[in-house]
Amino acid sequence: MNLETLSAADIARKVRAKELSARDVAKSFLDRAHGWDKTIKAFLSFNDDAALAQADAVDRAVSAGRDPGPLAGVPVAVKDNLCVTGTKTTCASKILENFTANYDATVIEKLRAAGAVFIGKTNLDEFAMGSSTENSAFFTTRNPWDVSRVPGGSSGGSAAAVAARLAPLALGSDTGGSIRQPAALCGVVGLKPTYGRVSRFGLVAFASSLDQIGPFSTTVADAALLLQVLAGHDPKDSTSARVPVPDFSAALGRGVQGLRVGLPKEYFIDGMDPEVSRAVRQAVTTLESLGATVKEVSLPHTDAGLSVYYVIAPSEASANLARFDGVRYGYRSPRATSLLEQYEFSRDEGFGPEVKRRIMLGTYALSSGYYDAYYLKAQKVRTLIKQDFDRAFESVDVIATPTAPTAAFKAGEKSDDPLQMYLSDVFTISCNLAGLPGLSMPCGFTSNGLPIGLQLLGKPFDEETVFAAASAYEKATPWNRIPSQPA
């Protein structure tokens, strides 16, 4: 049996039914990951011994007649900005290269309770700042569809791991598109839940009003299954919402009959790859053929989203990353001879160029005399962006857009042009600014065989409708059943 072709739901069901042992599943995926990762470089570290111990605990529970949980024996890859007890949490940065977490993030606690098995920590752009995973302090992750190209970012390692079938599920974080954009470039499903739906406790903060943890998977059903485990209020996170958690999987069979799909005219722009535009419009036509109605909507402040994001996110990053100063933990420069030099040298040597760029941008925007002109004004425009979505959702149930303006680009192609790199997230950023749920899924391929992503945006805390639309489209199309090269 080729275990890598099974869905997470199938693996969990077979483990609970004793048709598979969790140990065999874990060993199979670890062996596959160790082999293929020499090429893909999705992982920063592997947890072989701990993973096999977790798998053995699942098998013991099954043998004793106990239900190990909805993810019984399912291997999960974890983005390396999430704390897992006893493992390094580096954020792909030299400044945290030797930091070992001494507690679990809330999502990790929930995954343990659900019977999941953690096989390793995945690569990312340093401190989740980037769109290509080229900003990692350690190495660049490669796209499984074409290893000369990037997997997207910042959660590129998690997206590549799922696309290459090195893990059935993975966790990522999304601040401006860092789950959805790599999901699109790697041809998998990636979901950014509503802000507050999933606890951020134990996630190393980038921009606290934007960050959200979410799933990667090969199917919409698996994304719903994983979100079911992750979602819920957490008293350890003050931004965690006290809202009921519905049965996400129950929404998968609802279909789209009568569903109102919005198509925002501002998301089909000059400079977008024509193949991306055609594939997304064809996807919307497919939804229409399944019973949905399509209506053009306007989100007039969309063009301000990128500017707003690159004031707010760096400002919050500047504050959040101030703690990395060589005092309590992390890298400390050996050159320092005074406390001031310790701060200066440790941060200069420990942070990479993109992180420094964003810290400087944010510090400037928050500085005396500039706060009102930049940060405060950006927050006001952010409100206008949210109001655009509020008005649009008065007449539609979901909004369909491209996830990214192009398919995966060559490694190094945009490294020397930060603005072009930032434009990779032009269609995903507004979702974070408005706190909405957003899902990316494959909707076709370019002429040279690269995946294209469809983005579905929903009302706050209405992931159910997003899942219903995504599942209906997935069942009517073949895209998620086409494996990448390593399969």
- For 234-289, give the DSSP string: -TT-TT--------GGGGGGS--TT-EEEEEGGGS-TTS-HHHHHHHHHHHHHHHH
What is the C-alpha separation between 365 and 399, in angstroms, rounded?
32
Active site residue 154: yes
Task: Supply the DSSP string of 64-119, one letter for each residue.
Answer: TT----TTTT-EEEEETTB--TTSB--TT-GGGTT-B-SS--HHHHHHHHTT-EEE
Whether residue 318 is preceded by a cis peptide bond, meaning omega within 30 degrees of 0, is no
Give the chain's radius of gyration (CA, Å). 21
445 exposed, middle or buried (CB, 10 Å; 0-12, 13-18, 19+)? middle
* Pairing assessment for the beta strands 260-264 and 293-297 based on DSSP bridges: parallel
Residue labelled with tokens 């501002």: 266
The one catalytic residue in 14, 79, 121, 459 is 79
Catalytic residue chosen out of the listed positions 93, 155, 178, 484? 178
Q: Quote the CA–CA distance of 157 and 160 in Å, as a whole number.
A: 5
Residue 333 annotated in active site = no
Provide CB contacts within 8 A for 402, sequence distance 6+.
267, 268, 272, 276, 277, 280, 427, 452, 453, 454, 455
Dihedral angle, C-alpha 198, 203, 204, 209, nearest 10 °: 10
Closest alpha carbon to 464 in 414, 409, 397, 387: 397
Catalytic annotation, pick one of 21, 154, 240, 318: 154
- Verify whether residue 88 is a known catalytic residue: no
Angle at 385 between CA 281 and CA 240, to 5 degrees: 100
Strand arrangement, sheet containing 75-79: 43-46, 117-122, 75-79, 169-174, 212-217, 189-192, 438-445, 451-458, 398-402, 260-264, 293-297
| Selection from 365, 364, 441 nearest residue 400 by Cα | 441
Active-site annotation, residues: 79, 154, 178
